[in-house]
Chains A and B, each alone.
Chain A
Amino acid sequence: MTSQRTLIAALLIVLALVAPLVAYPVFLMTALCFALFACAFNLLLGYAGLMSFGHAMFFGMGGYFFGYVVKTMGLAPEIGLLAGVGGAALLGLVTGALAIRRQGIYFAMITLAFAQMVYFICVQAPFTGGEDGLQGIPRRALLGGLLPIDSDRTLYYVVLVLFLFGFGLIYRVIHSPFGQVLKAIRDNEQRAVSLGYEADRYKLLAFVLSASLAGLAGSMKALVLQFATLTDVSAGVSGEVVLMALVGGLGTIFGPVIGAFIIVAMQNYLAFTGEFVLVIQGAIFVVIVMAFRKGLLGEFSDWWKRRRAG
């Protein structure tokens, strides 16, 4: 089993390395940004049992912080990424501390409401550029000028490294003692509390962690596409990330990545249908909730297990 896993991981990495030779790099980079975003979301829902319906606020604000630091303040992209992560973490700390005061479905509604508040603030605040957003964020060279990223192909590898860093971090967190406690809280909060774990602290830390990684994903997207807009802080994107995690499989480590690639590809290829993309997304939600609640990866691994057993 372990050797099989290593093999799959090695195959995937080779695939990721050669991908820009066959596929359009900007598409791959966008998909990777959303994949990290979906993994960050899944860390919260799949492993801590916290359903945030406002994750776009961290993703979108990450992009704005990056854009502001790099374009308006004229600093290096690395500082922009740090600002995106730090800003999203801070926002996560404030909203998370309030949201974890309620449980279950209320938690989802509260995060949704806060995200809407952030959206309204972004519409009006001077530093976001309002309806226009921040456009033409320069792609300055990385590592103090040593690594120019004007070429999409070079940038792809930078984005891949950042993604792998975030993904690896999530993997480590899930398999750490901290991750085990999170799962315990998800499965039976009262029991975990009775065993002496301060559930709220764990939840808040998981929330901040997830928010920071969503912020990183948002900053990466701004780095790639060179703009930050209101769309990325809107409720629509909060819904999209839920859909990505759901399509791939909640609580599976790799599922959200698959989900993100599918949804981003779908949006690219169906963009010509206009509003109809929303209809299709909604229909996928309905079908998954009604029939495939485990998502692609979850259903597949079930089928695989059945096949091996039978």
Chain B
Amino acid sequence: MWKRDESVKPANVPPAAPQAPAAHAGAPAASGDLRQKIERDMVNIGKSVVIKGELSGSEDLTIEGHVEGKIELRENVLTIGPNGKIRAEVFAKAVIVLGEVTGNVTASEKVDIRDNGSVDGDIASPKVAIAEGAHFRGAVDMQRAGGKPAQAAAGQPGQAPKPPAPGGQPPVQGQKIGA
């Protein structure tokens, strides 16, 4: 009865089977290549950059600057960094919001509004997560998997974003979630 703790302890793990020497030798080089590849595939728009117009691409993108217009990354992840300010219609595979978005957001996989992130506009995505402390004003359209696609809250590409403040209220009167 007094040896209960011992049962929880991890059993003595036998030494790992020796791996092929070639794999060992190649591991650091492979991870370095992978890192380089990831760095190549991730694009970052810095704080001082302002873009007006249409932004599209086939790589994951992080925006820390200002973008006005339209963003299309239909097969990729868009991250709006804490300093990012977007005034645009957004279409992406997944959208992570840590900064500010004004405009409608459409994602084929997920929209994730993190703590201190802010969205003023409608969201259309099968999965939506809004953290405590995030700001959101608008409608959420979560179409069921396999169901017929819901009327995208964001409308069709090229359509002007809907005014984000329902009821005629200015967006600054939005609320903090969990406040």
A binds B: no
